[in-house]
Amino acid sequence: MPSEKVLESKKAQVAQIVEHLKDATTGVLVDYRGLTVDEDTKLRNDLRAAGVHYYVVKNTLLRLAAKEVGLDALDEILHGPTALAISEDAVAPAKVLADFAKDNEKMQLKSGFMDGRVLSMDELMQLAKTPNKETLIAKMMGSLNSPVSGLVRLLNTIAEGGEEIADLIAKKAADAAPEEAAPAAEEAAPAEEAPAAAEAPAEVAPETTDAE
């Protein structure tokens, strides 16, 4: 029979796991059997860089903790070696582990949970394909920076060329002037044909306006 000291130690471990499960937005459970020391080290480094807390856990302790937070459905996969990866980032644990598993078939994803609900394997793999927060922010900033980059290039031209803004505007207006003059000349031509139109008043064409 376990001593009181051992029981207290297990209770403390379960309580700690409970806190981890409550605080995590997402968690993923994996079977890490067969990984070499170098492979395990690389995996831990990748997870740490992504802000994911990863550690090996005993199934008996995780089962008790999972039950306490309403993740009873994890019970059926709690056999064999189990490691738990948790994070406040909803995507990071699944993405890092799924990417690692592509090159390391010995590691198997067992299950996962998100916001207090156990995920199916299909949901877990779909989560792994979702862009992470950094990627989404980078894409958003890229779209926002497009007009800004044009402004930066204009300012650099002014600074390096020594041209005043007024000179640039005048130059642009001068370049555009020939293009505006041509349509004006074309519009003036029909005025000379007006007398011919006056000779045949019987037919008057309906007035039309060009859609803009």
Residue 29, pLDDT score: 97
Exposure string for 98-132, b = 16+ CB within 10 A, e = fewer: bebbeebeebebbbbbbeeebbeeeebeebbeeeb
Confidence of residue 14 (pLDDT cuts 50, 70, 90): very high
The overall average pLDDT reported for the chain is 78
Residue 131, pLDDT score: 77
Looking at per-residue pLDDT, the higher value among 10 and 150 belongs to 10
pTM for this structure? 0.62
Largest Cα separation within the chain, whole Å, is 121
Alpha-carbon distances of 50 from 32, 94, 103, 114, 154, rounded to whole Å: 19, 11, 18, 17, 38
pLDDT tens sequence across 136-146 = 566 556 555 55
Alpha-carbon distances of 105 from 46, 67, 171, rounded to whole Å: 17, 30, 64
CA 175 to CA 181: how far, in whole Å? 11
Cβ(13)–Cβ(57) below 8 Å: no
Residues with Cβ within 8 Å of residue 99, at least 6 apart in sequence: 128
Q: Which amino acid makes up residue 109?
A: L
pLDDT tens sequence across 84-98 = 999 999 999 999 999
pLDDT tens sequence across 104-146 = 989 999 999 998 899 999 999 999 998 766 665 665 565 555 5
* pLDDT surpassing 70 at residue 71: yes
